[in-house]
């Protein structure tokens, strides 16, 4: 099949590479000339395990290409995927200007039947707006061309996106056209062989499903962090509580890990957007407000522990930070807890020695060179002369470190663990002042 994907960011690039890997002819369209130039040269602008190799293989095989030519894109694909950004507005609602700009472009150049697929995370009712924009543009051309608009939200986890696309839990297709559904089933057949994972529904339900899924996961995280804060005050151990409640199959173990808050490009944006959608529909989504409020508070937990340990005086101290990305296996730092911590430390007069296995380039793009910032290339280099170590991201290389070396390099054996990687009893017995989320502080 011939497929056009508008947008070569995270979702567009992963979707394009995986569809090309299945044998389809995929053309990715992006208005950023520099990005397209880099992609044509095989330079992948994002970090995702396995993506670079897959893109290169399909470029070499002639199944994947990149262009800035919108007319060529509309001409190429029966399927016209919209995978552009929907950044938040000031009120939390999703900015649909990029989505509607693509819809207008499709209307300008469409000459024969096309299936327009909303892959971007968009509010309920967006498909109606996309359809109206295409029809309006066709009317201005005095043309009548058949097309369908389908909602096909992505459920890709950063760090595991290729596996998620190739072996999906579910494939949501929202459409009001039998022909569009038939063709979407054909498109996804290579990813749907073990058993039927494709769920048909109306367009608005499909649009809401994506927001509902992310809001539910964010709710589980915030609820566990709320319990963790309570456990700290009751001298209980949230990790034991987690195992106790997770053993109930109605609850399960997924997404009930306490920590220093969620970040990334999806959960913060989608919780706010769904809350705004509720307001516009005349409903106050109280749980969503609480989820957002709890997460905002939890991102301050790391700084609160340091500030309390050093009696409110962080001026002139140097803090080592392990982990900058919002989660492992990505370089994405959007809304990352590390950013909240680092900026609070600078405001308090402390310096930061920062390390991440893959996000150092992204970190440099965000903060550049400045006083009080000491980026390093190896984890243990961050510890030299530091007054404390803070763990923000649970990268594998942090799970079993050389504790003797940590103690030797730190000025003070202080560890603030925002991901509960270590056992409090062991850390205390080894001479560390160790702070973790929702667990007693021995000694």
Q: Please identify every residue annotated as catalytic.
A: 266
> What's the chain look like in SS3?
CEEEEECCCHHHHHHHHHHHHCCCEEEEECCCHHHHHHHHCCCCCCCCCCHHHHHHHHHHCCCEEEECCHHHHHHHCCEEEECCCCCECCCCCECCHHHHHHHHHHHHHCCCCEEEEECCCCCCCHHHHHHHHHHHHHHHCCCCCCEEEEECCCCCCCCCHHHHHHCCCCEEEECCCHHHHHHHHHHHHHHCCCCCCEEEECHHHHHHHHHHHHHHHHHHHHHHHHHHHHHHHHCCCHHHHHHHHHCCCCCCCCCCCCCCCCCCCCHHHHHHHHHHHHHHCCCCCHHHHHHHHHHHHHCCHHHHHHHHHCCCCCCCCEEEEECCCCCCCCCCCCCCHHHHHHHHHHHCCCEEEEECCCCHHHHHHHHCCCCCEEECCCHHHHHCCCCEEEECCCCHHHCCCCHHHHHHHCCCCEEEECCCCCCHHHHHHCCCEEEECCCCCCC
């Amino acid at each position: 099949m011939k497929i056009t994907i508008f947008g070569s960011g995270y979702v567009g690039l992963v979707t394009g590479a995986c569809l090309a890997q299945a044998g389809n002819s995929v053309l990715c369209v992006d208005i950023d000339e520099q990005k397209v130039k880099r992609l044509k040269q095989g330079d992948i602008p994002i970090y995702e395990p396995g993506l670079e190799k897959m893109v290169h293989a399909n470029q070499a095989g002639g199944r994947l290409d990149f262009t800035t030519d919108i007319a060529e894109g509309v001409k190429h694909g029966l399927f016209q995927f919209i995978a552009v950004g929907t950044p938040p507005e000031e009120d939390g609602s999703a900015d649909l200007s990029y989505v509607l700009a693509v819809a207008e472009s499709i209307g300008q150049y469409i000459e024969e039947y096309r299936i327009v697929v909303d892959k971007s995370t968009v509010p309920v009712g967006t498909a109606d707006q996309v359809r109206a924009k295409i029809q309006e543009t066709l009317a201005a051309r005095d043309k009548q061309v058949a097309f369908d608009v389908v909602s096909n939200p992505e459920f890709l986890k950063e760090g595991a996106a290729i596996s998620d696309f190739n072996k999906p839990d579910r494939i949501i297709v929202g459409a009001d056209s039998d022909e569009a559904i038939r063709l979407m089933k054909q498109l996804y057949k290579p990813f749907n062989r073990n058993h039927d994972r494709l769920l048909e529904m109306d367009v608005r339900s499909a649009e809401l499903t994506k927001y509902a899924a992310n809001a539910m996961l964010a709710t589980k995280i915030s609820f566990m962090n709320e319990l963790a804060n309570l456990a700290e005050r009751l001298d209980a151990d949230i990790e034991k509580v987690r195992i106790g409640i997770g053993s109930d199959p109605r609850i399960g173990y997924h997404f009930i890990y306490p920590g220093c808050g969620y970040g990334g490009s999806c959960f913060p944006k989608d919780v706010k957007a769904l809350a705004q959608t509720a307001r516009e529909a005349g409903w106050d989504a109280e749980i969503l407000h609480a989820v957002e409020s709890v997460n905002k508070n939890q991102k301050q937990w790391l700084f609160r522990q340091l500030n309390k340990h050093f009696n409110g005086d962080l001026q002139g101290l140097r803090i080592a930070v392990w982990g900058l990305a919002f989660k492992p296996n990505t370089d994405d730092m959007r809304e990352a807890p590390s950013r909240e911590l680092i900026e609070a430390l600078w405001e308090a007069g402390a310096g930061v020695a920062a390390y991440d296995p893959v996000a150092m380039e992204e970190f440099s793009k965000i903060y550049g060179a400045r006083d009080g910032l000491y980026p390093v290339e190896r984890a243990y280099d961050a510890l030299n002369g530091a007054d404390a170590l803070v763990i923000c991201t649970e990268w594998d290389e942090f799970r079993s470190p050389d504790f003797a070396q940590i103690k030797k390099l730190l000025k003070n054996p202080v560890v603030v663990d925002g991901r509960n990687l270590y056992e409090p009893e062991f850390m205390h017995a080894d001479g560390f002042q160790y702070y973790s989320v929702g667990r007693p502080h021995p000694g």
